[in-house]
Chains A and B, each alone.
Chain A
Amino acid sequence: MSYQVESSAPAREERLKAGIAFGGTCRELKCSMNKGGCLNAANRSFSQTYGCQFTLSLGILNTIRNAVVIMHGPIGCGFCSTATIGTGKFYKRLRDPQANGTIWLSTNLDESAVIGGGEESLRKTVLFADKEYRPETIIVVSSCVPALIGDDVDGIVQSLQSDVAAKLVPVNCEGFKTKVMATAYDAAYNGIMKKLVNPYGEWRKLTESDKDNIDRDYRISRKVNIFNVGSMSRQDEVELERLLKALGLEVTFLPCYSEPDDFSISLEAALNVSICGTHDDYYLQFLKENFGIPYIIDTIPIGRKNTDRWILKIAEFFHLEDEAKSLIEKENEILNKSLDTFREILKGKKVFIGGGEVRILSTAEVLQDFNMEIVGLKGHHIDKFVEPIFESLENIDDVSINIATQHPFEQANIVRKIKPDVIVIHTGGNNISAKHGLPILPLYGPSYNYMGYTGVFEIGRRLARVVKNYQFNKNIKKYRPLPFKESWYEKNPYTYIKEN
């Protein structure tokens, strides 16, 4: 291979100056972002748990087909995979009806490994995985402990490669290395970059006619790789594919639910397009530098304006603006009318939105489209990728925004002060969010459509249903208390954010 890949992905607080602790209005946030620096250093004197690099990278790695994932660490690292035993297989089978569920192994590092190193444990696990399952690839994900005991995982993997049939992919993502959990995506891509990106492209026939050649070159000149995210659904992909196919483009989705070879095959494409800037900039930049594939990272296709913009950006690249404009116009015309019944139900309702930076702001655009009032936002972290999405929002400058990865204690305080009618939120903290006693719509879901034009309709349809009856959460609020002391609610919600 002609290119060099660093042994592990840099933390995003360094690479992107991402921040995880902020409280104020959107205007204040934009100002601090322009200044840079201080936002990046802030942290909390009281913190709550959230995903680490390791757990989050599994969101991509556990979806790769024909793979075995090895959790290189003590027995608990990767335990979260339990939650996707059933769904993981189901979603894989939407892409390949024969696909296996996720097979994962733990190297189960114990006290003797902590003292003597984890190399032998890893070696045995890799050999077992290869012999037992004969996968195309074995992905070795290493946690905090191997990093602390100084295991040279890349080296071990390199030396094992000749003993196994599977392609070995080391992914270094020790949790303590970063407080920005989205660094996980870079870690997963870093492993993919190191081992799965081989520039052979599609398999060629032994003999090809000139016409075959021309056909293929034409196809490649129209081929777009779309970089999907684990939090989106197959329905989302179908919708985005529909829109780009309408422009005459050919579409492939990566990296989630891909087959290991897909990373090489995808090198023969005209353009790489990101769905969510939080996920792919590290990898797309790599593909551009080493394989000359241009990329677009702009907005996420959630909401009408964002979807319009996303399609237009892609169309501009292929000089298909006129076709795109006519498509966008038609799509909007039909969709707009169909939203009226939901607007009637949702108009004026105050909404609090929490989750990933890109998702919350784009979802805010959808909710503004329903004439709802955005009263509070909470983003996992903040970096430059939100800028284009801010542009799609109206009257947002005075809205409160909290940058906090999960941290439901700040949310509880804020929600009590701003009194929303509806909450749209990320998973994981709903034992707390439910106790606000309000209707809740999940911010994302791998079995629902949120993206493209149909996604807007689906969000409206579901939200209009959710607000009709929220007795479940009302009763929970009434009978099950939140764990915060009353005195907490009297304080400023950002009391525990500190400059470090």
Chain B
Amino acid sequence: MGKYVDRPRYGCALGGALSLLRAIPRAIPIIHSSTGCGYNVYNGINAGAAYLGGGYCGGAALPSSNIIERNVVFGGEDRLAEQVEKTIEIMDGDIYVIVTGCMVEMIGDDIYSVAREFEENDKPVIPVSTPSFQGNSYTGYDMVFSALVKEYVEAEEEKKVCKVNVIGIVPGEDVFYKGNLKEIKRILGLIGIDSNTFVGEGETLDNFKGAGNASLTIVLSDVYGVETAKVFEEIHKIPYLLTGLPIGYLQVENFLYEVGEALNIDNEVIEKALEAEKETYFDYFERITDIYNDIDLQRYGIVVADANYAPSVSRFISDELGWLPQLAMITDFLTEDQKSRLESRFENYDSELKPLVKFDTDASAVKKYIRELWPADQNERYYDALGPGFILGSVIERDFADEFNYPLLSIAFPVTNRVIFNRSYAGINGALTLTEDIFSLLVAGR
């Protein structure tokens, strides 16, 4: 049985499904559910993803069958068929994707047979079952993505040696998804890899259609997109590699060698590419060496984030910023296997430190873990407090930040206190931006 969640940092499967579709140009979702599901999810994603907006066909524009009690009693398939027909008539798109809410799944509507009625349509109509009692936004991303891999990606026998598919960053849930994909694409380009990131800048539905000829799927995650990668392997015979999300020069170095090994790229090529990157990167880092050491900008770091950001950000603040990582709380639903895989991401820090790693979905848990890792003030004359601290989390950590008087940089969903366009925290340029944002908070009062 699922455990309750104190202030969830994700929507339902339908939410993840709609966020992915929101990121694909000219994709038209057709929601088969009651009236409020689409609107509810839009409100959560829009604000939580730093004002992502409804885009082309989101928000109140989302086509939705809006089933009512009568449909729940007698079935909603006729209503769905009518809705699909009219959606195609009115909405101008290149692909129509039927996604579902809980109640139509519970009454057993067969969306697959309804979709078959539209097989002859010149634009594809693809049904995806996305019941929210089966998972959260991250699950919904995998549900829609793997359906597209099955139904829409064209089969290609011949693989292109240096072409990779990049997945595992969930649009919206990763507030920086577009900037991150852009940076990952740039880094891979440095060693001659042509990467397909599906929903990055300038990418379209054709990036889905033509994904069958890649020779590797890079999953920038230990958790998200893994199901999709498996479908790529099974149907299109493309192997996959789980890399996590590289943040900072050191992680990018590992990332490139890892990818290089999988694709048999010469180490020399990678070394040469890194040489130039290193020069640029540390040239910028050198700028803050003065202020960092002038006024002591080392901090105790507390990271509360999803399975992609928490491990990478913790390692980054430890091994590149020279901070003391105290707590890394990963806020997702995870299986034991996923947990142990993620645990291993916190091993072998260059700093030889290790944060307390916790898997907990509840907003209220952060404070308890702080208590667990740091002795409470027993009214001693001299108390060694956990400070100065710094939180990398979401806006849900704001109350905690206020209480402990720690600065908070919102990096993980929900990020309602910022507007994010193409900013990235991944890779090399992303780490520079992350460093800018962190230290900007520390000098904001000066």
Contacts and interface: CB of A to CB of B under 8 A. Distances in A.
B11 A113 contact: no
B4 A128 contact: yes
Interface in B111-152: 131-136
B8 interface: yes
B90 A485 contact: yes
A74 B12 contact: yes
Contacts of A45: 82-83, 86
Contacts of B31: 49
Contact of A121 (B4, B15, B34, B36): B4
Nearest to A87: B416
A444 to B, nearest CB: 16
B64 A176 contact: no
Contacts of B322: none
Interface string A59-97: 000000000001001111111111101100000000000
A431 B43 contact: no
Nearest to B136: A75
In the complex, which of the residues A105, A121, A128, A181 has the most CB atoms of chain B within 10 Å of its own CB atom? A105
Interface stretch (A192-200, A405-413, A460-468): A405-413
B357 interface: no
Nearest to A178: B68
A339 interface: no
B134 A429 contact: no
A114 interface: yes
Contact of B41 (A79, A101, A109): A79
Given A49-B42, A82-B47, A176 B67 contact: yes
A432 interface: yes
Given A75-B10, A83-B47, A496 B34 contact: no
B40 A55 contact: yes
Contacts of A449: none
B4 A105 contact: yes
Interface in B387-408: 395-396, 398-399
B280 interface: no
B310 to A, nearest CB: 19
B205 interface: no
A483 B86 contact: no
A48 interface: yes
B69 A82 contact: no
Interface string B361-401: 00110000000000000000000000000000001101100
B334 interface: no
A108 B44 contact: no
Contacts of A51: 35-36, 39-40
B36 A49 contact: yes
A145 interface: yes
A339 B38 CA distance: 41
B63 to A, nearest CB: 6
Interface in B60-98: 60-69, 71-72, 82-83, 86-87, 89-93
A86 B416 contact: yes
B81 to A, nearest CB: 11
Contact of A429 (B5, B13, B60, B106): B60
A124 interface: yes
Contacts of B61: 48, 408-409, 429, 431-432, 483
A381 to B, nearest CB: 12
Nearest to B66: A47
A48 B63 contact: yes
B189 interface: no
A169 interface: no
A106 B66 contact: no
A257 B255 CA distance: 50
Interface residues of B, number: 78
A277 interface: no
A120 interface: yes
A484 B13 CA distance: 27
Nearest to A409: B90
A485 B92 contact: yes
B132 A74 contact: yes
Contact of A110 (B1, B55, B101): B1
Contact of B34 (A79, A106, A116, A176): A176
A175 B93 CA distance: 28
A109 B364 CA distance: 20
Contacts of A179: 35, 66, 68
Interface string B1-38: 11111111011111100000000000010010011111
A158 interface: no
Contacts of A406: 39, 60
A7 interface: no
Interface in A95-150: 100-101, 103-114, 116, 120-121, 124-125, 128, 132-133, 144-145, 148-149
Greatest chain A CB density within 10 A among B38, B61, B87, B107 is at B61
A52 B35 contact: yes
Contact of B43 (A74, A83, A124): A83
B60 A49 contact: yes
Nearest to A181: B35
A86 B72 contact: no
A409 B61 CA distance: 7
Contacts of B42: 49, 428
B270 interface: no
A54 B36 contact: yes
Contact of A145 (B7, B13, B71, B103): B103
B103 A148 contact: yes
A80 B37 CA distance: 10
Given A45-B86, A113-B2, A483-B92, A75 B11 contact: yes
A307 interface: no
A225 to B, nearest CB: 29
B346 interface: no
Given A50-B36, A75-B12, A80 B43 contact: yes
A177 interface: yes
A53 interface: yes
A479 interface: no
A154 to B, nearest CB: 19
A468 B47 CA distance: 28
A484 B54 contact: no
A203 interface: no
A317 interface: no
Contacts of B82: 45-46
A488 interface: yes
A121 B132 contact: no
Contact of A484 (B58, B90, B416): B90
Contact of A104 (B7, B10, B34, B58): B7
Nearest to A148: B106
25 contacts: A48-B64, A50-B60, A52-B39, A75-B12, A75-B135, A75-B136, A79-B40, A80-B40, A83-B416, A85-B398, A104-B7, A105-B7, A109-B133, A110-B133, A111-B134, A113-B133, A116-B1, A121-B1, A148-B107, A175-B37, A176-B68, A409-B90, A483-B56, A483-B57, A496-B90
- Counting from the closest, the 4 A-B pairs by CB-CB distance are A52-B36, A76-B12, A49-B38, A431-B54
Interface of B: 1-8, 10-15, 28, 31, 34-44, 46-48, 53-69, 71-72, 82-83, 86-87, 89-93, 101-103, 106-107, 131-136, 363-364, 395-396, 398-399, 414, 416-417
Given A48-B63, A431-B59, A483-B28, 15 more contacts: A46-B89, A50-B60, A75-B2, A79-B44, A83-B44, A83-B416, A85-B416, A105-B6, A108-B3, A110-B133, A144-B101, A148-B102, A431-B58, A485-B91, A496-B86
Interface of A: 45-56, 70, 73-83, 85-86, 100-101, 103-114, 116, 120-121, 124-125, 128, 132-133, 144-145, 148-149, 175-179, 181, 405-409, 428-432, 480-481, 483-488, 496
